[in-house]
Amino acid sequence: MTNYQSQNYIRISATTITPPVARNYEASMAKLIDVSRCIGCKACQAACMEWNNLRQPVGLFDGTLKNPPDLDPEVWTLMRFAEYEDDKGNLEWLIRKDGCMHCEDPGCLKACPAPGAIVQYENGIVDFISENCIGCGYCLKGCPFNIPRISEVDLKSYKCTLCSDRVAVNLEPACVKACPTGAILFGTKKNMTDWAGERVEDLKSRGYEHAGLYDPPGVSGTHVMYVLQHADKPTIYSNLPDNPRISPTVDFWKGLIKPVSLAGIAAAAIAGFMHWVIAGPNEAQPEDEDAAEHLIEAKAKSPPPPGGGGKPQRTEPVEPPV
Amino acid sequence: MTNTWQDIKNANLVLVMGGNAAEAHPCGFKWVIEAKIQNAARLIVVDPRFNRTAAVADYHAPIRPGTDIAFLSGVIRYLLETDQVQHEYVRAFTNASLIVKEGYSFADGLFNGYDAETHSYDKTDWAYELDDQGFAKIDDTWQNPRCVINLMRKHVDRYTPEMVSRICGTPIDKYLYVCQQIASTCLPDKAMTSLFALGWTQHSIGSQNIRTMAMVQLLLGNIGVAGGGMNALRGHSNIQGLTDVGLLSNQLPGYLTMPKDEEQTFDDYMKTRQFKPLRPNQMSYWQNYRKFFVSFQKTMFGDAATAENNWAYDYLPKLNLPMYDIIRAFEMMVHGEINGYICQGFNPLQAFPEKNKIRRGLSKLKYLIVMDPLDTETARFWEDVGPLNPSDPSKIPTEVFQLPTACFAEEDGSLVNSARWLQWHWKAANSPAQAKSDIWIMSAIFHRIRELYRKEGGAFPDPILNLSWKYTDPTNPSPDELAKDLNGKTLADIKDPSGAVVLKAGQQLDSFGQLRDDGTTESGCWVFTGCYTEKGNMMARRDTYDPRDQGITPDWAWAWPANRRILYNRASADVAGNPWNPAKPIIQWNGDRWVGIDVPDYGPTIKPSEGVGPFIMNAEGTGRFFALDQMVDGPFPEHYEPFESPVENLLHPKVQNNPAARVFPDDRADFGTSADFPYVGTTYRLTEHFHFWTKHALINAILQPQEFIEIGEVLANEKGIANNSWVRLSSKRGYMICKALVTKRIKPMMVAGKPTHVIGVPIHWGFTGLAKKGYGANILTPSVGDANTQTPEFKAFLVNVEPSNGPEGEV
């Protein structure tokens, strides 16, 4: 949502423009959502609505405590409530704050055909730049978490920005600030991972033997992570994917245009930017999608290529900036 | 709260029973999470529903609404049976050893002295045996069968685990697990905190619910210590302040009490209030009652209150009844005995029991004045909103005046939180349109009424004409001036026995210890003395200094009494004055005086050897298992069924309900039976809303837009009710049509061998505001209150539920 020049970016959708490499001493950041501390009060939802000026019309009860009923261009985060009973009949009420996971390897960005509509900042935040969005919906197709929503009003795609505007000026995201129980924390990915480790130990001491951190490798990790009591069964948390991966359609197109990527690498080498390449499916036409899906079915389920294309290695700073 | 929000983090066990802290107090609940993370505390929830608190708890045990006394009496039995009590604490700090009069007895559900005509007890024998000096007799060996400990043991003996399970519907294994966990805190260095709220108060046995838990806490030595206590989580940001300044018909500020009809003279009044010590050397702090009362009268009536006129005692109204509570007020309204009603910051049509009766009452008034920042249902009670509020305005004579008020953020002032902190707040915005502060409005009403009395006289104009009103702007006293009034000041130079002036005239007082009963001091609310001193506004302090990181911040705001953060903190140390828990001391005896991180709730230089008890407000200085004559329904708690209950009382079928509860005949006729209404209804709040206010706020309305009830899967299947379908929920008093949330979180409980179903009814919807319109839960609830406080029985009543085709008419 913000002007992406306010922060260093490392990827831009559908473009071969090379991001700048100076000023790159920025830590990888993450939001940690500790489901075991969450009381489902929706303060995060209220804070998100206030900071981002989002107001859905007053809706209707839909059979759950979840309100509004789903993510929406006006709803960027949502508490989902799941009643889970194990085979011994022990009941748990698993409340998960849903929203963009800010994948390290963002499927939305890879799938996006609109130049500059989706960017990833050096701190890991994946942001939608509305003025460049063409409303095609490919980002939704590329997202393994079913997050972006297209507005019927302006035909642009919307989702959580991880408050990139706040983070850019060293503030925590609005939901983090509002959370009364400290169930949502924000900091460097390293700090958040370390703290999650302590939380997992505590949960194990309370009998949750499969407690763990949700930082799925299928998308090279995420910048929104969960502490789960049952990390072996993410789907019990309102269908959090067990092993999220970028849609094979998106990855298939990446394979098909590999020669183009290589050409790009060659050009970059000449220019002296051997380490930096952005390649995307921007040449793909929408009508090719169907054909690709047929091809994929034949190709069965080959493992996805690791990581994103051409992302530069970055050095972790010693001191976290936030 | 005896303790503070922050202190919850010191607990080893957090028991949430009679409340739903995560749901109703999400901000304060951070300290429960803190206890879990920093202190490895366990969190146990005992509740009819698996609620939001249970979602983050280590353990949940279900309980049928209205049976908490049975559960907790069983816990007391378990602790005594397994000898898991803090012996030294119980012997030194409780009345376990004192001997009760022979006349006291209990049989078949009734204590001695019951009068079935008046539904009340003669409490004369609910007392200690006294020696010739007037002190209670004691038997430290606990051999005397009439020692409190032995009477208590006998009283709870009937509450076996099997009996508890049959009454409460809690499976025995779950019940015993909770018992074990509670018992684990009997060690001197372990503490359990009890967090409760309206889940305990809103019963016909509400006060005794709380007392039973207090008895458990005394047995475990958990009162006065860090991480312990009885912690009432108050439901409104200033409801503690309302109680403190005595906004109840039978109260005066600072827990002084209104005179009764039979107390025609000041001497009569004082006879029953200045408690003399019941054991040697005890402080019995109410001995100072006269100082508090005279100082209050001086604030009220200034120079008109003199020694000659008994400090204007005659100016005070005298109660002809125990109290004029809301249930009685609307009973009187319905019968035409109350003709005008000033409704300030309250929404009775939504908040009081039996909505249809409330509307009937309001419809008989000559006038209704509503002072509120919002357009409440009460102000529009006359409006015909179809089935949601069926009314015929052409037949209602009531004239309604709506006086829009400022909300708290639009004025300076103080709020008292659950932890008794008076926290000053500053105006953040101007009020919209014509809204005025409550102070401005009340002042204007006062001046007009005084003018009428001046011109026209009246039966007794003196109290109004002589009301002290010395404010810079008489039409709009400032919050600072009013706060200074409550604190109090000297009216003349105060001298010590040698004649030296210790306090000059006109000086703000530092402590209620300085109050006099000779008219030389004034104080509007003695427990607040110290909040606004010569040093300034203590409530405005914002220093987070926390000397031991135990959550005691003496320079943050100001806590009554005397800036004390943990009540009864003398009990945090053993008889010799050493902390029970050396890792978390509060105060201790250093050889010369009591020192520590909190203001001692004790004389600061009283030696431990003097044997002064820590419970200084009680005449015997100890905590009470046996409540003497302080409760109207018995010195020990006893399980009585709710007035609408699905089963007979298994302990004493002939005494089904609280025999000392007051029930008006019309209301009794409106009670339903389980034959017609087989399910247990219980009402409650949701995190997304605050009572009936936030449905006026857009974000809250979006987050929880529409009225619904919660119903378990088993009952839903039986009745053919699908999730998110329409249902008709009814009681003897009314019905509502709303959506159903079918859930695994409410399960049938086996009560007396029968499956019993609970239906949950969130309260928040009405016919004004931005959320979808609804009926409001109190269309269902019965008009009966707790025998001691008259708090309505909202938490346990009978309902029926059927599938429905949806709203009738326009909704």
| Model pLDDT for residues B170-226, shown as the tens digit of each residue | 999 999 999 999 999 999 999 999 999 999 999 999 999 999 999 999 999 999 999
Nearest to B703 among A63, A67, A181 (CB): A67
Number of other residues whose CB lies within 10 A of the CB of residue A237: 21
With an 8 Å Cβ cutoff, are A42 and B687 in contact?
yes
The identity of residue B600, as a single letter, is: P
* Of the candidates B289, B285, B287, B282, the residue with the CA atom closest to the CA atom of residue B622: B282
Which chain A residues have a beta carbon less than 8 Å from that of B712? none
Residue contacts between A and B (CB atoms, under 8 Å): 113
Residue B277: the pLDDT is 96
For A58, phi then psi, to 5°, come to -60, 125
* pLDDT of A305 higher than 50: no
Residue A6: the pLDDT is 67
Residue with tokens 């999470």: B33
Does residue A131 belong to any structural domain of this protein?
A: yes
Name the minimum distance, in Å, from the CA of B540 to any CA of chain A: 23
Does residue A106 belong to any structural domain of this protein?
A: yes
With an 8 Å Cβ cutoff, are B771 and A58 in contact?
yes
Does residue A312 belong to any structural domain of this protein?
A: no
CA dist., res. A179 & res. A161, Å (int): 17
Q: Radius of gyration over alpha carbons of chain A, in Å?
A: 20
Residue A276: the pLDDT is 43
Positive/negative CA dihedral, A192, A193, A197, A203 = positive
- From the candidates A65, A80, A198, which should be mutated to test the interface with B, based on the most B CB atoms within 10 A? A65
Kind of pairing, strands B797-803 and B679-684?
antiparallel
Which chain A residue is nearest to residue B686, measuring alpha carbons?
A: A41
CA dist., res. A63 & res. B738, Å (int): 11
* pLDDT of B555 higher than 60: yes
Residue A274: the pLDDT is 39
Nearest to A55 among B36, B702, B705 (CB): B702
CATH for B341: 3.40.50.740
Q: What percentage of chain B has pLDDT greater than the value 90? A: 98
Burial of A86 (0-12, 13-18, 19+ CB in 10 A): exposed
* pLDDT of B284 higher than 90: yes
Residue B171: the pLDDT is 98
Which chain B residue is nearest to residue A46, measuring alpha carbons?
A: B699
Asked if B687 and B52 touch (Cβ cutoff 8 Å), the reply is yes
Max mean pLDDT among A285-294, B233-242, B536-545 falls in B536-545
ipTM for the predicted complex comes to: 0.95
Residue B809: the pLDDT is 55
The identity of residue B776, as a single letter, is: G
With an 8 Å Cβ cutoff, are A93 and B50 in contact?
yes
Does residue B114 belong to any structural domain of this protein?
A: no
> By the CB < 8 Å criterion, does A154 face chain B?
no
Total domains, chain B? 4
Instruction: Work out the pLDDT band at A288, boundaries 50, 70, 90.
Output: low
Does residue B185 belong to any structural domain of this protein?
A: yes
Same domain, B372 and B297: no
Name the minimum distance, in Å, from the CA of A9 to any CA of chain B: 34
Same domain, B375 and B482: no
Q: B13: which 2 tokens? A: 């066990």
Asked if B406 and B437 touch (Cβ cutoff 8 Å), the reply is yes
Question: Chain A, 222-261: which have a CB under 8 Å from a chain B CB?
Answer: none
With an 8 Å Cβ cutoff, are A41 and B724 in contact?
no
Q: What angle do CA B685, B686, B692 make, to 5 degrees?
A: 60
Same domain, B372 and B300: no
CA dist., res. B115 & res. A271, Å (int): 102
Q: What are the strands of the beta sheet with A212-214, ordered from one edge?
A: A184-188, A29-34, A224-228, A212-214
Residue B274: the pLDDT is 85
With an 8 Å Cβ cutoff, are B741 and A63 in contact?
yes
With an 8 Å Cβ cutoff, are B702 and A68 in contact?
yes
Does residue B111 belong to any structural domain of this protein?
A: no
The reply to whether A139 sits in an annotated binding site is yes
Range of the domain at B500: 248-278+289-318+476-538
Asked if A7 and A101 touch (Cβ cutoff 8 Å), the reply is no
Nearest to A83 among B29, B40, B744 (CB): B744
Positive/negative CA dihedral, B274, B275, B277, B281 = negative
Asked if B112 and B106 touch (Cβ cutoff 8 Å), the reply is yes
Same domain, B721 and B780: yes
Same domain, B446 and B493: no
> By the CB < 8 Å criterion, does B706 face chain A?
yes
* pLDDT of B810 higher than 80: no
Asked if B98 and B627 touch (Cβ cutoff 8 Å), the reply is no
The reply to whether A38 sits in an annotated binding site is yes
Tell which wins on pLDDT, A177 or A276.
A177
CA dist., res. B622 & res. B568, Å (int): 10
Question: For residue A119, what is the enclosing H or E element?
Answer: strand A118-121
Does residue A299 belong to any structural domain of this protein?
A: no
Residue B16: the pLDDT is 98
Asked if B418 and B1 touch (Cβ cutoff 8 Å), the reply is yes
Number of other residues whose CB lies within 10 A of the CB of residue B87: 13
- From the candidates A32, A48, A61, A79, which should be mutated to test the interface with B, based on the most B CB atoms within 10 A? A61
The average pLDDT across B661-679 equals 98
Peptide bond into B561 cis (omega under 30): yes
**A3-59 pLDDT per residue, tens:** 545 678 889 999 887 777 777 778 999 999 999 999 999 999 999 999 999 999 999
Which chain B residues have a beta carbon less than 8 Å from that of A63? 723-724, 739, 741-742
Same domain, B716 and B767: yes
Q: Which of B387, B418, B453 is the last residue in one of the domains?
A: B453
Q: What percentage of chain B has pLDDT greater than the value 70? A: 100
Residue A257: the pLDDT is 55
Same domain, B73 and B204: yes
Same domain, B301 and B214: no
Question: For residue B680, what is the enclosing H or E element?
Answer: strand B679-684
Which chain B residue is nearest to residue A39, measuring alpha carbons?
A: B52
The average pLDDT across A74-85 equals 98
Same domain, B231 and B266: no
Which chain A residue is nearest to residue B36, measuring alpha carbons?
A: A202
Instruction: Work out the pLDDT band at A314, boundaries 50, 70, 90.
Output: very low
Range of the domain at A19: 4-236
With an 8 Å Cβ cutoff, are B702 and A202 in contact?
no
> By the CB < 8 Å criterion, does B29 face chain A?
yes
Total domains, chain A? 1
Residue B79: the pLDDT is 98
CATH for A157: 3.30.70.20
CA dist., res. B511 & res. B528, Å (int): 9
Same domain, B16 and B75: yes
Task: Spell out the residues 6+ positions from residue A192 whose beta carbon is closer than 8 angstroms to its own.
Answer: A30, A31, A32, A185, A186, A225
**A110-167 pLDDT per residue, tens:** 999 999 999 999 999 999 999 999 999 999 999 999 999 999 999 999 999 999 999 9
Name the minimum distance, in Å, from the CA of A158 to any CA of chain B: 19
> By the CB < 8 Å criterion, does B23 face chain A?
yes
Which chain A residue is nearest to residue B703, measuring alpha carbons?
A: A67
Does residue B564 belong to any structural domain of this protein?
A: no
CA dist., res. B11 & res. A151, Å (int): 49
Which chain A residue is nearest to residue B32, measuring alpha carbons?
A: A181
Residue B694: the pLDDT is 97
Nearest to A93 among B54, B739, B772 (CB): B54
Residue A281: the pLDDT is 41
Same domain, B84 and B183: yes
CA dist., res. B707 & res. B780, Å (int): 14
Name the minimum distance, in Å, from the CA of B698 to any CA of chain A: 8
CA dist., res. B779 & res. B150, Å (int): 45
Residue B176: the pLDDT is 98
With an 8 Å Cβ cutoff, are B705 and A95 in contact?
no
With an 8 Å Cβ cutoff, are B687 and A58 in contact?
no
The average pLDDT across B633-656 equals 98
* Of the candidates B3, B1, B149, the residue with the CA atom closest to the CA atom of residue B77: B149
CATH for B207: 3.40.228.10
Peptide bond into A286 cis (omega under 30): no
Q: Which of B514, B538, B562 is the last residue in one of the domains?
A: B538
Task: Spell out the residues 6+ positions from residue B373 whose beta carbon is closer than 8 angstroms to its own.
Answer: B404, B405, B406, B407, B435
Kind of pairing, strands B536-537 and B532-533?
antiparallel
The average pLDDT across B17-36 equals 97
Does residue A93 belong to any structural domain of this protein?
A: yes
Same domain, B48 and B184: yes
CA dist., res. B159 & res. B72, Å (int): 9
CA dist., res. B122 & res. B141, Å (int): 30
- Mean of all residue pLDDT scores within chain B: 97
With an 8 Å Cβ cutoff, are A39 and B22 in contact?
yes
CA dist., res. B530 & res. B527, Å (int): 8
- From the candidates B20, B27, B50, B56, which should be mutated to test the interface with A, based on the most A CB atoms within 10 A? B56
* pLDDT of B569 higher than 90: yes
* pLDDT of B671 higher than 80: yes
Does residue A280 belong to any structural domain of this protein?
A: no
Instruction: Work out the pLDDT band at A313, boundaries 50, 70, 90.
Output: very low
CA dist., res. B747 & res. B755, Å (int): 9
With an 8 Å Cβ cutoff, are A46 and B700 in contact?
yes
Does residue A306 belong to any structural domain of this protein?
A: no
With an 8 Å Cβ cutoff, are A50 and B699 in contact?
yes
Positive/negative CA dihedral, B533, B534, B535, B536 = positive
Q: Which of B488, B517, B538 is the last residue in one of the domains?
A: B538
> By the CB < 8 Å criterion, does A201 face chain B?
no
* pLDDT of B526 higher than 80: yes
The average pLDDT across B136-153 equals 98
The average pLDDT across A170-192 equals 97
* DSSP alpha helix (H) spans, chain A: 43-52, 107-111, 138-142, 164-167, 174-178, 189-205, 248-256, 258-271, 288-299
Q: What percentage of chain A has pLDDT greater than the value 70? A: 76
Lowest mean pLDDT among A289-293, B443-447, B656-660, B748-752: A289-293
* pLDDT of A282 higher than 60: no
Asked if B45 and B226 touch (Cβ cutoff 8 Å), the reply is no
| Residue-wise burial string across B635-669, b where 16 or more C-beta atoms lie within 10 A, e elsewhere | bbbbbbbbbbbbbebebbeebbbbbbbbbbeebee
With an 8 Å Cβ cutoff, are B50 and A91 in contact?
yes
What's this model's pTM, rounded to 2 decimal places?
0.93
The reply to whether A100 sits in an annotated binding site is yes
Residue A294: the pLDDT is 55
Name the minimum distance, in Å, from the CA of B51 to any CA of chain A: 8
Does residue B619 belong to any structural domain of this protein?
A: no
- Mean of all residue pLDDT scores within chain A: 83
The average pLDDT across A242-270 equals 63
Residue A22: the pLDDT is 72
Which chain A residues have a beta carbon less than 8 Å from that of B686? 65
Instruction: Work out the pLDDT band at A312, boundaries 50, 70, 90.
Output: very low
Residue A253: the pLDDT is 62
Residues forming beta bridges with residue B414, ordered by sequence position: B424
Looking only at Cα atoms, what is the longest distance across chain A? Answer: 65
> By the CB < 8 Å criterion, does B742 face chain A?
yes
**B697-722 pLDDT per residue, tens:** 999 999 999 999 999 999 999 999 99
Angstrom CA distances, B715 to A265, B653, B722, B781, stand at 66, 27, 11, 21
Does residue A247 belong to any structural domain of this protein?
A: no
Residue A280: the pLDDT is 42
